[in-house]
Amino acid sequence: MPDNATTPIVALACDHAGFPLKAAVLALLERAGCRVTDHGTFNDKRVDYPDFAHRACRDVAQGTATHAVLICGSGVGMSIAANRHPEIRCVLAHEPTTARLSRAHNDANALALGARLTGEEAAADILHAFFNTPYEGGRHAQRIAKLTPTQEPAR
């Protein structure tokens, strides 16, 4: 999956609905040479997704991971929880184009997947696009800086 020279360090997390897909994602990431920290959950017993999203996002915010991959039933809850962290730019992707554009234009550092909407093959394509697309910088940097405003935006 990652074709670049830098080995991604991935903080992986899921809730109970994401647990079945997490096993496949973990295997894909490890086969691709990523270093993975698995923050759980470790079975399909009901849990609260924010608890697991926050664990993975703290790794990215603290610099102990370069990216987070978060999986729940739809991906929506995990992406909302992740984007509560000022350092996180999480994209919910159901297909590779969104993953690619979020990396290129938004420098996304977290990816949310919906296990009830995304099969293993689609997840592999999405992960490939996410981890192999570089951030373009340039005109996008100014916009990213505005995601966490320090003052009221100009009108």
Catalytic residues: 72, 105
Give the rounded distance of the alpha carbon of 154 from its chain centre. 31
**Cα-based distances in Å from 151 to 42, 140, 148:** 42, 19, 9
Rounded to whole angstroms, the Cα distance separating 85 from 90 reads: 10
Closest CA to 107 of 77, 137, 84: 137
| Cβ count within 10 A of residue 23 | 12
